Structure 1
């Protein structure tokens, strides 16, 4: 049964409605979807097209008649099918559907199908519960903070179980009522949450809390900013300890003056370093490396940085130089990259920035990495005897 070209079927119209719900439901939940409108021109066939595909044209007309007859009898108003008269020379007067008009978010979602309607209703209901629990004023023509939070976290709100949504309301209310509790995240005295609940739902909690209270901070005590250090010189070891993990503030208070501070991104290479006079090796911690600038004895020494040969490695090197004045990279040049070509792997997500603190040789290596398709040479894959020789040679120049 060949269908005349151009006619919009009920299935096609439902798909358009589904896409509209997917696209706009966040805005509807935040601001209300009563004025939403979707008009679908149905493109009825000409007389010639109808005669060429008569059975399909009749089925199409009956399908739309069934829609027109069914929707006025359900609880969701706003679905209208507009009909028009045709005077055809060969088959006489015909009544054909011309347009389907869906008025309001509820109607658009209902027409899209039961699954889409349930998803929209869940989001709409939860947005209303948030409004009731945390009433806020809406400035005419603008989006208020709670509405913005609902819009930004609509997907999460929609996906939460009823139990987790009820817990979310309770947690946001408690945090709003206790703006500076000073508790750690796993110590909160809130019934109904375990020690990991807030960690798992922190993004939506922070968003809604900011929308309700106007405060970005949850008023909690953050985890200590820890850094791992190996003291390669026995004379520098605090209390004889070689390997230490401690807060930045405590490390900053140590009365030591190393001449060489190695900063590595990989723990395996840290562990492999031998004893070395005047030296320590610090775990950079990726993009957290700039925190090392808060430790005076790192600033006072010569920093030798070794990271992965990839775009992130150079981005981290650039960030470290933003807080430490004297940073030399080692094993991060084009020669090393090409020497160990057989150990390359793809970089999952390349950093795309520009880094003005890179030296010309470093920039050449980064350009080569990108021209090869964003490859990565992980630092621990480089043959250790060769790597250690390069590191000690640079350290000896200080």
Structure 2
């Protein structure tokens, strides 16, 4: 009957609370069991007893069956009815402890693993107990990894800001891949355990080696590939014109250039025409964010050439947020329409999600909007390699 909760509904309600880590948190907070280890049952009305008696009896029989589970009992209460007098009816289901609840839900082994993980954490780092209470889902998710996670935490507490590569950390049983895979949870733990001076608060994200920079580790730096477009500068690099440098060294260059072209396509970078006092940087994609740490770029004219698609304009907007004087090149409606034979399709699932980008000019923003609204065709894309080189040469003048 619709008004009376079935045993499957009761169990589903408990499972939902379990999946939300409601029971985990209350158990960790050591709240008295009788306050939360029970489920109220619907009240049976006199009308139901009179007119739906058989359904009520069947429901009572089903509910009574729950007591076959160890540590589970029905809480009964005497209820007075006008026509039927006093009746002793179940009003709640009570579990004796977390073992009886988790066995009823089929979660006993998972609970044991969670409880063991909690004991491992707080026995080694008692100060993490408040974090454990507020992070039950993470404690549970990483059950199998806690012995090694705690080894890493112990190492960093003893050797803050070790100034070495992850590969060089001398932690028995823990390899580079383990730390790489668990950077997020390790960040949360180390933020709780380390002194302020051992954490570089400027680096809060995991991208761009944020973990290594936050906790004083060495890392493989981003590499910048560029070509010297003016032969007069080749002698400064022993006659070489196509050069790849670590970002830190690139940022320290002292070239007398005033023009910087940036293009995503490698071949376009290799084929870019010669130009006075200029270089071309290529192949960075969204790694273009690494250029924000290059101070001398603020003194150069920067021109960005990307694909005419949603991601091309997203990268342009990102670059311009670092260098507001950046200009786009060959990323306009005239170029798009003139190269119709090279039109392709940007995968709908990978199209940039933003409705608008903050750092575009009015004409760029309009073209981005036209692409997003499929003005010419769905998910239109013109890759930069589809633009003939003579158009580039004409643009450069």
Q: TM-score band, normalised by the shorter chain?
A: 0.7 to 0.9
Aligned residue for 1:369?
Answer: 371
Q: What is the rounded CA distance, in whole Å, between the counterparts of 1:332 and 1:82 in structure 2?
A: 75
Task: Map 1:65-144 onto structure 2 (within 5 A).
Answer: 65-68=64-67, 70-72=69-71, 81-85=75-79, 87=81, 94-101=87-94, 109-111=102-104, 113-115=105-107, 117-136=108-127
Task: Map 1:247-266 onto structure 2 (within 5 A).
Answer: 247-266=246-265
Q: What is the rounded CA distance, in whole Å, between the counterparts of 1:214 and 1:351 in structure 2?
A: 39
What is the aligned length?
373
Aligned residue for 1:273?
Answer: 272
Taking CA–CA contacts closer than 8 Å with sequence separation of 6 or more, which of the two structures ends up with the larger relative contact order?
Answer: 1
Q: Choose which of 349, 352, 363 in structure 2 pairs with 1:350.
A: 352
TM-score, normalised relative to structure 1: 0.77
Aligned residue for 1:224?
Answer: 221
Aligned residue for 2:178?
Answer: 197
Distance 1:244 1:54, change over 3 A: farther
Q: What is the rounded CA distance, in whole Å, between the counterparts of 2:12 and 2:22 in structure 1?
A: 15
Aligned residue for 1:139?
Answer: none
Q: Choose which of 375, 383, 386 in structure 1 pairs with 2:386.
A: 383
Q: What is the rounded CA distance, in whole Å, between the counterparts of 1:149 and 1:273 in structure 2?
A: 56
TM-score, normalised relative to structure 2: 0.78
Where 1:230 maps in the other structure, the secondary structure is strand
Q: What is the rounded CA distance, in whole Å, between the counterparts of 1:86 and 1:166 in structure 2?
A: 57
Aligned residue for 1:180?
Answer: 161
Q: What is the rounded CA distance, in whole Å, between the counterparts of 2:300 and 2:87 in structure 1?
A: 90
> Are 2:194 and 1:213 aligned?
yes
Where 2:169 maps in the other structure, the secondary structure is coil
Aligned residue for 2:306?
Answer: 307
Question: Is the 2:308–2:383 contact (alpha carbons within 8 Å) kept by the matching residues of 1?
Answer: no
Aligned residue for 2:245?
Answer: 246
Distance 1:51 1:343, change over 3 A: same
Where 1:322 maps in the other structure, the secondary structure is helix
Distance 1:102 1:178, change over 3 A: same
Q: What is the rounded CA distance, in whole Å, between the counterparts of 2:62 and 2:165 in structure 1?
A: 60
> Are 2:310 and 1:319 aligned?
no
Give the superposition deviation at 1:19. Answer: 0.7
Q: Which runs of 5+ in 1 are unaligned?
A: 74-78, 137-144
Give the superposition deviation at 1:94. Answer: 4.9
Distance 1:303 1:213, change over 3 A: same
